[in-house]
Structures are given as structure tokens and as C-alpha cells.
Amino acid sequence: MIKVQKIFVMAALVLIPSVSFAQKVNILTEKTASNREQYAAEYLQKKLNRLGFPTVVNGKKGEYRISLSQAKDTAGLKKEGFSWTRKGKKIQLQGNDGSGVIYGCNEIAEYVAQHGSLNVPLMQEDAPEMVLRGACVGLQKTVYLPGHSNYSKRTMAQDMIRVMAHYGFDRFHAVGHDRGARVLHRLVLDHPETTLSCTLMDILPTYDMYAGTNEEFATKYWHWFFYIQGNGFPEKLLAADPDYFIHYNLNLKVGPAARANFPEEVLQEYTRCFALPGTIHGIAEDYRASAGIDREYDKADVVPHKKITVPLCAMWGNNGVVGKLWDVKAGWQVYSDRLRAVGVDKCGHFVPEEQPGVVYDELVRFLDDVDRGAI
């Protein structure tokens, strides 16, 4: 049976020298604590130890006690939020969900790093502005480098390598869809030693897709050519009515069999995230990098058909643009001798959302075969 690890990215902390008089800390979790709560406790323990405060999890003694729990009744609570209260040397932290516990522990660690003290504010409550598929702290691209290079797939792949190494994972299975799959494609080309297997959903190599552009592809994937325009042009237009754009764009891409998976409240959540400051610019920068610096990098690997050496699962929607315009299996056979190709019926571009059951079954089968050495 495959064990699935969830990795959460935390903000980097400033270290301070250890002091001999630092108080001992005991972090307490509930007996029914989830994996995320346990991870949060271990994360905070590691950070506090590095900051000079000897810390244990579920020990018997400690001058400071930090109790972690997760809200039982989440009605009206913001996703991934947290709150804490402090009475003397006792801190009670409650997350609105598992990710909230992680965010709260990260907040405590940041406070200790900045102030050198566990005397956090008596009361604290917060929730992230952007809710993602899993806790994600500190990956925002705050500096824009020349040539969109900090949005190149090579740079973002290196980001992922550092994150995984930080949390002790030197080798791992990796799965990516669409833009994430393009980062993963570059990752397995640059760092094959880190990857046990690679699953790419609904893509072919970016270089090949640009090179194979015809009238039909340019019409259906118009956004590839719209986002790359400069001087803030797409950012300005899309910010004017993000709700209209989200409805228009997603309805174009979602297959008819999966429309029920995208009710209005889901589309509103897409719109909320899309409209956040910086989101549209980040999306545009990703596409600009793909059309520019990424293609320059690809000339050294994709053009000479450099092989992906790890087991590769290529999965796509048979009713989507990629599945209709390209022979996806043949496209990836050029780059892999260890390929499993899976076309998903009644499925458009959003493969995981449209056919989650099929994706799960195929992934489990693929990863089991990889672990057995059958592929």
C-alpha cells in the first residue's frame, strides 16, 4: 500500500544564538490529533530547538506549555485560520482546521525568532488571505527578475527541490497538472536523481506545443498568446471583470460530464483567488516565461529529445484540446522509454476535478507498479 506524504511549505525563519537560560518547552497534542496537527507540533519543536529553546512533544515537563488542538465546530470559521490565548507560560492554540494549526505554529515560531521570547501576545487570531490546496507559506514571488526568470520552470523546479530537501525528502514521487506539470517536466530533466516517478497531466512539452501551433490551437488556447503581452496589458483588462473571465474561461474548458463538479460557489472561489492583488500578474509572468526563457532552456533538452529517465505516467482528457489536437502518447514516447499513457474518457482539461475517481485509481496502480519495479 502506498503511503501518501503531504508536504507543507513554511516561511524561512531568522535564527538567534542559543542561550543557557532558555526555558524548556512542552508541546502537547490531543490523542486524536490528525497528521497535520502532529506535523505542526514537530515543525514547531524543530524551530524552537533551533532558536535555543529545548522543546519536546508530549513530554512530562516544561516551563512553557503549548497545547495544540483543532476546532470541532467549524461553522463560521475561516479556512486555514487559527487563534491562540496565553495565560502566563501556557499557550492554547486552536486551528480552524489542520492547516490552521500549522499556520498558528508558524506564527509562534516567527514571533520567537523576531523577539527571542515565548511571551507571545495574550490573544491572537488570523487567517491567510489566499486559501490554496494545502498549506503554502512563503512561496510568493516578491521580486521580479529580468526576463521573467524567477517564473521560469527551471527556477520554480529548483524552489520545489529546496522545499522537499528542507523537510528531509531527497527522493519522491511527483504529480503535476497543466502549469504545475510544466514545472515538473523541467524538474525531472534537471534533477532526475530526486524523482522516483513523474505524472504529467494534460500537457505535452511546451516547446513542442508552441512549435506545433496552428489556427485551431491558437483559437482554443488563445490565452497562451494573450497572457504574454507586455506592459501590464492583460493584467489591466482581466482585473476589470475577473468574475466574467473566470466563468467564460472555465466553461470553455470543463467537459459536459463534469459541469456538476463546478457549481457556482466553486466558481466564486476561483474568482476570489483570481482577483487577489498580484494573482493575475503572477499568472501572466508564468506564461511570459514559458514563451521566452523556458523555450531557450528547452532548446538544449526538448529539441534533441533528451529522455526522461524516471517512470513517466502521461494522463490527459480525451475530450480536451490537448487530447483532440495531439497524439499525446506518441508525443511522450519520443521522450520516455518507461511510459504509461492514460487517456481519460468524458474528460476535458481539468482532469483531477472532472474524473477524480479515474485519476486516483490510475495513480495508485502506476505508483504500485513503480514500487514493484514493473515499469
Active-site positions?
Answer: 178, 349
333-346: burial string, b at 16+ Cβ within 10 Å, e else: eebbeebbbbebee
> HSE of 280 in the Cβ direction (CA atoms, 13 Å)?
25
Work out the angle at residue 27's Cα, subtended by the Cα atoms of residues 169 and 11, and round it to the nearest 5 degrees.
45
Q: How far apart are CA 188 and CA 313, in angstroms?
A: 13
Render 321-338 in DSSP notation, one character per residue.
HHHHHS-HHHHHHTTBSS
Contact status, residue 65 vs residue 90, Cβ threshold 8 Å = yes
322 contacts: CB under 8 Å, gap ≥ 6 = 202, 203, 204, 316, 328, 349
Length of the chain counted residue by residue:
375
For residue 86, give the C-alpha cell.
Answer: 496565553
Q: How far apart are CA 319 and CA 345, in angstroms?
A: 7
Instruction: List the one residue out of 157, 208, 164, 207 whose CA is nearest residue 183.
Output: 157
For residue 106, give the C-alpha cell.
Answer: 508558524
Q: How far apart are CA 188 and CA 109, in angstroms?
A: 33
Contact status, residue 369 vs residue 272, Cβ threshold 8 Å = no
Q: How far apart are CA 179 and CA 224, in angstroms?
A: 11
Q: How far apart are CA 69 and CA 28, in angstroms?
A: 9
**Amino acid occupying residue 151:** Y
Q: How far is CA 189 from CA 37, 171, 296, 303, 347, in A?
A: 35, 14, 14, 13, 28
Residue 297 main-chain phi, psi, to 5 deg: -65, -40
Cell numbers 460557489 correspond to 265
> HSE of 108 in the Cβ direction (CA atoms, 13 Å)?
36
